[in-house]
Structure 1
Amino acid sequence: MTKYSLRSSALDILLRVGDNGAFSHLLIDQALKSNKIAVRDQALLTEMVYGTLQRKLSLDYFVNHFVAKPNKLKSWVRWLLYLSFYQMHYLSKVPDHAIIHEAVSIANERGHKGISSLVNGVLRSAQRQGFPSFEAISDDVERISLATSHPAWLVDRWIKQYGLEKTEVICQANLDSKPLSVRVQPLRITKEQAIDQLQEEGYQTAQSSFSPQGLIVEEGNILKSELFQKDCLTIQDQSSMLVAEMMQIEENQYVLDACSAPGGKTTHIAEKLNNTGQVMAYDLHEKKVDLVAVKAFALGLSNIETKGADSRELSAFHEPNSFDRILIDAPCSGLGVIRGKPDIKYNKDEADIMKLAKIQLELLENISPLLKKDGKLLYSTCTVDKEENERVIEAFLQAHPDFEIDQTFFTELPDVLKQAPGITTTGLQIFPDDYQTDGFFLTRIQKKG
């Protein structure tokens, strides 16, 4: 594939994500699996698409600076300029003259001479003049919003919750890539054996301080490894691994995973059960639950039963006081995983957060009666918004004085997290800038007495 057609493919993906709401990670995955992208170009395609999406508001600021009538631009032309500006300003791999030549070729093919002339003129102006600085913007919210490409409402909201300095650091961290981490399937291979075998294959790994099963991949494409091909490894962020680690799982327990898809935490729980007991895995959509079943089968786990259902109505399937352990990995805004799914930050608003917080509280209200008297319920989200985290827990505890935060949760945290900046009386908030992981919230609840 030529660089020209590579950039044309990147533009196609950006248009589908930006204009039609498609998911960037799914489209990139499809493109890479299509075998139309040369192996040497796969990383560049991924970087161009994710980078352009991550920096969209910054790139729009540049377009508005260099284009006389930006509102008159056709959507594909705007995205072509975003893509080209991203490479010119944020990448050093391709010289400007090559970027300009390819962009003009794409404009010529998709449009007419007037459009290709405009693209050529705009890009050459940027090359000649240089890009405008964000530091000249006096308003802090606007400056952070445009410099880090986060919607102004979100920046303002985080400043009110966490302060100016922390917000700026969070936003900046969301632009940086994080190391990939994997979970070893201990029923198939020990972690020590996995480390040795990966080293023999040329991979560099480090042990996770969040999970005894976790490895951080420092060098090499782990998806190509023999261990991954044999389902001895599961791709999972370290923050996500922490969930099962903090559930006090013991063999032969009866466990409920109320919002289980796509199954990373479900299968981790099943592994920690040593394939004993049973995990009841529910999710709202039957197709999503199928993903959990497929994952369980691949990992050789037979202690997971899946079912599609609204978890707010599980009392129809289970008696009160049924489960030793319950996980509510609640549907959330996903604002903790922005760097892996950059389109999230453009597709959410404050109304979504309030709506989700209501659902999260309903889940706690309706599922908590299913917990045994001496059971433990772990609540988690992959967001960093207090409304979905601390305030949901506070509202639940206020309405249910027979429940309390399990204080042993804090003493059982991995050593690296015991002094985490995000610890509150309500639980643990992990920010994306803290440990090079996803942003995550978790806490553990139990019945009093």
Structure 2
Amino acid sequence: MAVEILTKIAKNGAYSNLALNQVLKKDQMSRVDANLLTIIVYGVLQNLLLLEFWLEPFVKGKKMDDWVKQLLLMSLYQLKFLDKVPNHAVLNEAIKIAKSKGHDGTRKFVTGVLHAILRKGVHDAASIEDENERLSIVYSVPVWIVEELKKQVGYDKTVAILNSLNKAPKQAIRVNESKASIEDVKTELTREGFKVENSQVAAGSLIVEKGHVSSTRLFEEGKIMLQDESAGLVVEAMNLNGDEQVLDACAAPGGKTMQIADYLRTGTVTALDIHKHKVKLIKENARKCGFEEKVNSIQLDARKLNEHFEPESFNQILVDAPCSGIGLMRRKPEVRYEKSLQDSLNLHRVQVGILDKVANYIEINGYLTYSTCTILETENTSVIKEFLEMHHEFEQVEVKTRLNLPNTKKSLTIYPDDYESDGFFITRLRRVR
């Protein structure tokens, strides 16, 4: 199963969490097996560049099927990182898979490579002279991300960020407080055998361990939603009073839309997405949470607001912009290998374009909130700087959260090592004229 999932991710760009969940739902395996499968898949993705560095001397650029490469990488991962799986078990399983999926030549090749690795050992990545390349290989993060982070935050902070990425992501939920109190949710989850504690990041969030909350009655009834703590801060920072007309300009799958609806009493939130199936998803979420009256979902590109709305139609607008997702490297380890600096620069243009088009639809004294799940300044502070140079009718205001998280430059940047949550950026702008 691990070979198949890793091959699908490598060949088709599948998301690790979705590919894994698909298999776990379909195949009723024991918790021990499910845990091992998860550890192998995430372990290979989190350490991919290091594993490839170790493997290369033994295969010397030899052409091989994708699944054979994934089989060797996951076997190498188990040999080097998993102390509870004995070496002979790793070899036996690998040889068995090579035999069943390939031919006798494949079996011999896999056997030869793994025996050579055990006999000779692997190269020490710490001996790589170039600092950026060494960090890239040791932490399995592409060189361009290492370079960008060092430019932004310096060597020590970069190493702290990279070092934090292989820690297991926490299971965080947000409580829909218009449907259930935080204390009642804590009590019910604890009664069901979960370990629950309050988030130190977002006031409406809880950290849950010992089980999957997506199978609980609370989740089915829309009283809780799966949402990282950092993501939960975005709407919290909007400081809604409950009667606003709000636009969620890039809304799917609707987590932040539901949070806005949760905070509204007489107001409504208009949720936009350019994809029909994603708008359907927002509607389903609104139905599940009981927010149909508060949520208006429309299939529309945020850059074409003029087709539906008059200027100054909204008290607040949220642009949770399409971004590179580099802040999600812990939760979606494959994202780091799929993106380039050019992608980030291209997204910068899209992000500025969206802000430019929505600006005129905020009333005077209304607020524009901009957020991303990336930690790259290209898509964060640089976007805001360019927007403010184009729109003198806006001023930046300080981002305030309910738990008073510190921010140094009015906007709030959360790095993955700060609270072991997702990396996020949030900024707020007020229209003054």
Q: TM class by shorter-chain length? A: over 0.9
Question: Matches of 2:228 and 2:73 in 1, distance apart?
Answer: 30
Is 2:430 the counterpart of 1:430?
no
What secondary structure does 1:434 align onto? Answer: helix
Residue 42 of structure 2 aligns with which residue? 50
The CA deviation string for residues 319-374 of structure 1, in whole angstroms up to 9 with x for no partner, is 11111111000000000001111121111111111110000001110001100112
Select between 116-125 and 260-269 the one with higher mean Cα deviation: 116-125
Q: Is the 8 A contact 1:284 1:309 kept in 2?
A: yes
Residue 12 of structure 1 aligns with which residue? 4
TM-score, normalised to structure 2, is 0.96
Select between 253-262 and 395-404 the one with higher mean Cα deviation: 395-404
Residue 380 of structure 1 aligns with which residue? 371
Shift in Å, 1:55: 1.3
The CA deviation string for residues 260-279 of structure 1, in whole angstroms up to 9 with x for no partner, is 001111100100114x3111
What secondary structure does 1:256 align onto? Answer: strand
The percentage of aligned residue pairs carrying the same residue is: 39
| 1:76-87 correspondence to structure 2 within 5 Å | 76-87=67-78
Q: Is the 8 A contact 2:203 2:403 kept in 1?
A: no
Is 2:137 the counterpart of 1:137?
no
The CA deviation string for residues 60-87 of structure 1, in whole angstroms up to 9 with x for no partner, is 01111333x3333332211111111111
Question: Matches of 2:72 and 2:41 in 1, distance apart?
Answer: 13
Residue 26 of structure 1 aligns with which residue? 18
User: Unmatched 5+ residue regions in structure 1?
Assistant: 1-8
Shift in Å, 1:416: 5.2
| 1:121-270 correspondence to structure 2 within 5 Å | 121-270=112-261
Select between 244-253 and 322-331 the one with higher mean Cα deviation: 244-253
Residue 288 of structure 1 aligns with which residue? 278
Question: Matches of 1:211 and 1:36 in 2, distance apart?
Answer: 35
The CA deviation string for residues 6-33 of structure 1, in whole angstroms up to 9 with x for no partner, is xxx1111111110122222221121111
Residue 370 of structure 1 aligns with which residue? 361
Task: Please tell me the residue identity of whatever aligns with 1:349.
Answer: S
Task: Please tell me the residue identity of whatever aligns with 1:417.
Answer: L
Shift in Å, 1:35: 2.9
Q: Is the 8 A contact 2:236 2:402 kept in 1?
A: no
What secondary structure does 2:392 align onto? Answer: coil
The CA deviation string for residues 384-412 of structure 1, in whole angstroms up to 9 with x for no partner, is 000100000001111111111013x3xx3
Q: Is the 8 A contact 1:311 1:367 kept in 2?
A: yes
Question: Matches of 1:10 and 1:178 in 2, distance apart?
Answer: 20
Shift in Å, 1:181: 0.6
Kindly report the root-mean-square deviation, in angstroms, between the aligned alpha carbons of the 2 structures: 1.6
What secondary structure does 1:265 align onto? Answer: helix
Residue 332 of structure 1 aligns with which residue? 323
What secondary structure does 2:173 align onto? Answer: strand
Task: Please tell me the residue identity of whatever aligns with 1:49.
Answer: V
Residue 110 of structure 1 aligns with which residue? 101
Shift in Å, 1:415: 4.1
Question: Matches of 1:395 and 1:387 in 2, distance apart?
Answer: 11
Q: Is the 8 A contact 2:203 2:402 kept in 1?
A: no
Question: Matches of 1:354 and 1:40 in 2, distance apart?
Answer: 43
What secondary structure does 1:405 align onto? Answer: strand
Q: 1:417 aligns with which of 405, 409, 432?
A: 405
Question: Matches of 1:298 and 1:383 in 2, distance apart?
Answer: 29
Q: 1:444 aligns with which of 422, 428, 431?
A: 428
Question: Matches of 1:416 and 1:148 in 2, distance apart?
Answer: 32
Question: Matches of 2:116 and 2:268 in 1, distance apart?
Answer: 64
TM-score, normalised to structure 1, is 0.93
Q: Count residues in correspondence.
A: 432
Task: Please tell me the residue identity of whatever aligns with 1:334.
Answer: G
Is 2:81 the counterpart of 1:95?
no
What secondary structure does 1:216 align onto? Answer: strand
Question: Matches of 2:376 and 2:94 in 1, distance apart?
Answer: 39
Residue 4 of structure 1 aligns with which residue? none
Question: Matches of 1:211 and 1:360 in 2, distance apart?
Answer: 25
Is 2:287 the counterpart of 1:297?
yes
The CA deviation string for residues 82-134 of structure 1, in whole angstroms up to 9 with x for no partner, is 11111111222311110110001111112222221221222223233333221
Question: Matches of 1:388 and 1:398 in 2, distance apart?
Answer: 16
What secondary structure does 1:150 align onto? Answer: coil
Question: Matches of 1:210 and 1:253 in 2, distance apart?
Answer: 25
Residue 353 of structure 1 aligns with which residue? 344
Q: 1:62 aligns with which of 54, 57, 66?
A: 54
Judging changes above 3 Å, is the alpha-carbon distance between structure 1 residues 335 and 374 closer, same or farther for their aligned structure 2 residues? Answer: same
Question: Matches of 2:117 and 2:101 in 1, distance apart?
Answer: 22
